[in-house]
Structure 1
Amino acid sequence: MYQPAITGSGVFTPEQVITNDELVAAFNAYVSRYNAENAAAIEAGDIEAKAPSSSDFIYSASGIEQRYVMDKTGVLDPGRMFPKLRQRNDDEPGIMAEMALDACRTALKAAQRQGSDVDLVICAASNHERAYPAIAIEIQQLLGAGGFAFDMNVACSSATFGIQAAADMVRAGSVRCAIVVCPEICSGHLEWRDRDCHFIFGDVCTALVIERAEDAQGAYFTIRSTRCATQFSNNIRNNNGFLRRTRPDGTSDRRDMQFMQNGRKVFKEVLPMVSAHIGDHLGEAGVRADQLRRLWLHQANKTMNDFIGRKVLGREPEPGEQPNILQDYANTSSAGSIIAFSKHSDDLGDGDLGLICSFGAGYSVGSVLVERKDSA
């Protein structure tokens, strides 16, 4: 048995940014157009008028100030309201693989590794641009990696579930060096015309190198233990798939083919589930909450994270104990907790403990207990 460790991390951040003010201006222009075009039906009571959004509403509801996207022109076009992403030819790298390559190279550089050192690639993300061949196998080829690769999807918990899978294989000796990569193009699956959710998501890609601790070339984080759980719920759902794409009448503008959630039920049901999950994980690992130096939580909503932090620690988290990147990146699904880890872990010292936790559709929740080591 070998000790698995995170030896490198990387984040690919798109160049384009949409601020709340920009988003609201486009959304409200769409609302004005919709209400004008449907004035008669609205007057007759057949449909409801759409309400405008505001930057204050977005920030108070989520803590989000901006989001990075692969394309902002399509999103901000009131007559379109979804990104313009070029269709790739079959002999070109896919957009997810392209994002992944950047994040993987950064993670490999941090781990002082080459692509040829990798013998497992897991592409763990909420949405994949095709059913097959696996995105992970394409990434494997672009990296020049060996071994094998596969895709996995556990929605916003994809990264932590991927970490557990990779860590287990490193521990067992079936692989020596793995990459868990999370290319998330959430902008392509968000309904930008829905006031309740049009502000939630952004695009990004993260990557982690996981290998035997004995092979680490510098400082690293041992993966002391992992814990995953799922419980079925329809409160967060996306019906976009290869079996159903149209209504019976042949039209395809189906609202349920995009991100949907019942926010109130999610808050009520997920928060206690996650808090109990973390508490149980720490108890099984023999770790007290006051021994944790850092919580890297899924970046879905500031109120949710604040609640979980208080519940786990039994007090208000101190500055730096529970870093948020939500205000800059918005919700990036599986990548959020890994962005927080990548950007807020270098200051920890030898022996410091931290916990990565994700949660989302499924319901799913995954946690990874790590310990900083200065050298192998």
Structure 2
Amino acid sequence: MPNSLIRSTGYWVPSNVITNDELVASYNAYAERFNAEHAAAIAAGEIDEVPLSNSDFIVNASGIKRRHVYEKDGILDIERMVPQIAPRPIEEISTQAEFALKSVNEALERAGYDGKDIDGVIVASSAQQRNFPGVSCEIQNAIGAKGFSFDLTMACASALYGLHIANGFIKSGEAKRILVCSPEIMTCINVHSRRDVHFIFGDASAAMIVEADDGRPGGWDVLGTHAENKWSSALRSDFGFINRAERQIDPDYEPHLDQDGHRVFKDVVGFAPKVARNLMTKIDLQPEDVRRTWLHQANIRMVDMIAKRILGRDRTEENAPAILDEYGNTSSSSVVMNFQMHSDDMAAGETGVMCAFGAGYGVGAAAVRKR
């Protein structure tokens, strides 16, 4: 049974940046207009007043100071509050596939490979641009890869679910080299008119090349992977193909992102470290032998607590780095970005643990050792 390794990674973020102050100014302008237009109904208790936001609230709640976004003007325009992305003819590459290729091409270049060296493509992200054909099929075609391709979605844990599946394919001999990519244009999903979520997401794409060990130096040995779920709808996005049918019953229905933040925090902080520690126990990896953990960037308080429970010691920027302040929550791409940004300083033989957690609740974990 061949062992698998992460040969290379790649990531890409857009150059457009929205600061907290910019986002708050836009959101508060929307809230003040809404409250003024509905003052009578608010006073009568028929609808709730839209609360204002502020930058201190965002930093305290999440640790986020900025986020990189695919398209900026539409988000800040209170008449829209969504990115403006032009539809493309079917003969052109799709927006999400093009977005993915930014990180895919970097991962290929870092590995010294061409697309033809890949025999499996997995698009693992919170949402795909279309139901079919798979975005993975389009990426496979664009790079000239062979073999299979498919899309999967497990919210913020998607990239590590993709790694878990790739690891299984390689160990079984079904594939020798698999591309896992996570193009996350989360600002298209987000509801920028809701105070509890308007600041959360940024956009980013990340990719990993996972392959069978052929004895060559370099890369990261995959010591073990694990994925586990515990059902919850406390964090939910209702965008989907049934929305058109739902509007036949309620023409005003608008799907939205919703979360019970306090419940999600409590549940996930309890669940995610257990999944990671169970994997560590399975492969006889002790917390003191883990140099670093790379976590999904949900919010800084979750990162603090989950890191401490995985490592058995307080989080520091050395043992569990955070990238929230610059990029926000970029869903499943964040753990791969974090890994790439904060792994070059590790020595051969040192071990780290990736852990990603999100809606579902789904948790993915992977233990890796630098070669």
- Residues 13-92 of structure 1: pairs in structure 2 closer than 5 A: 13-92=13-92
Comparing 313-322 with 156-165, which one deviates more in the overlay?
313-322
Q: Does 1:125 align with 2:125?
A: yes
Percent identity of the aligned residues?
Answer: 39
User: In 2, Cα distance between the equivalents of 1:262 and 1:29?
Assistant: 25
TM-score (norm 1): 0.96
Amino acid at match of 2:143: L
Q: Secondary structure, in 3 states, of the residue corresponding to 1:275?
A: helix
Per-residue CA distance 1:150-206 (angstroms, 9 max, x = gap): 000111111001001111111222111110000001000101000011000111100
Which letter maps to 1:298? H
Shift of 1:269: 1.1
Distance (Å, rounded) in 1 between the aligned partners of 2:119 and 2:273: 35
Q: Report the secondary structure of 2:67's partner residue.
A: strand
1:268 aligns with 2:263: no
Separation (CA, whole Å) in 1 of partners of 2:215 and 2:199: 42
- Alpha-carbon distance in 1 for matches of 2:65, 2:262: 22
1:1-376, aligned counterparts within 5 Å? Answer: 1-214=1-214, 216=216, 218-245=217-244, 246-254=246-254, 257-373=255-371
- Cα distance in 2 for residues equivalent to 1:80 and 1:259: 16
Q: Which has the higher mean CA deviation after the structures are superposed, 69-78 or 233-242?
A: 233-242
Distance in 2 of aligned mates of 1:117 and 1:223? 20
Identify the range of structure 1 (18-27 vs 231-240) with the bigger mean alpha-carbon deviation.
231-240
Query: In terms of mean alpha carbon deviation, does 337-346 or 42-51 score higher?
Result: 42-51
Alpha-carbon separation, structure 2, partners of 1:265 and 1:38: 30
Question: Which whole-Å deviations, capped at 9, do the CAs of 1:57-85 have from their partners, x for residues lacking one?
Answer: 00000000111111010000011111101
Q: CA deviation at 1:20?
A: 0.3
SS state at 1:318 partner: coil
Give the whole-Å Cα distance in 2 for the aligned partners of 1:120 and 1:161.
Answer: 15
1:318 deviation in Å?
3.3
Cα offset, 1:315, TM superposition: 2.0
Name the aligned partner's letter for residue 300 of structure 1.
Answer: A
User: Normalization by structure 2: what TM-score?
Assistant: 0.97
**Rounded Cα–Cα distance in structure 2 between residues aligned with 1:312 and 1:295:** 8
- 1:258 Cα deviation from its structure 2 partner: 2.2
- Deviation, 1:106, is 0.3
Aligned-partner Cα distance in 2 for 1:215–1:207: 22
- Displacement after TM superposition at 1:101 (Å): 1.1
Q: How far did 1:244 drift? A: 3.0
Measured in 1, the distance between the counterparts of 2:106 and 2:252 equals 39
User: How far did residue 253 of structure 1 move?
Assistant: 4.4
Question: For 1:347, what is the secondary structure of its paired residue?
Answer: coil
List gaps (5 residues or longer) in structure 2: none
TM superposition shift of 1:49: 1.5
Give the distance between the partners of 1:368 and 1:49, measured in 2 at CA: 44
Once the two structures are TM-superposed, the CA of residue 370 in structure 1 deviates from its matched residue by: 0.3
**Residues in 1 aligned to 2:76 and 2:104: alpha-carbon distance in whole angstroms:** 30
Q: Which amino acid is the alignment partner of residue 8 of structure 1?
A: S
Q: Secondary structure at the match of 1:75?
A: helix
SS of 1:231's partner is strand
Secondary structure in structure 1 of the residue aligned to 2:76: coil
Q: Which runs of 5+ in 1 are unaligned?
A: none
Q: CA deviation at 1:248?
A: 5.0
Cα distance in structure 2, aligned partners of 1:208 and 1:129: 20
How far the C-alpha of 1:233 sits from its partner, in A, is 0.7
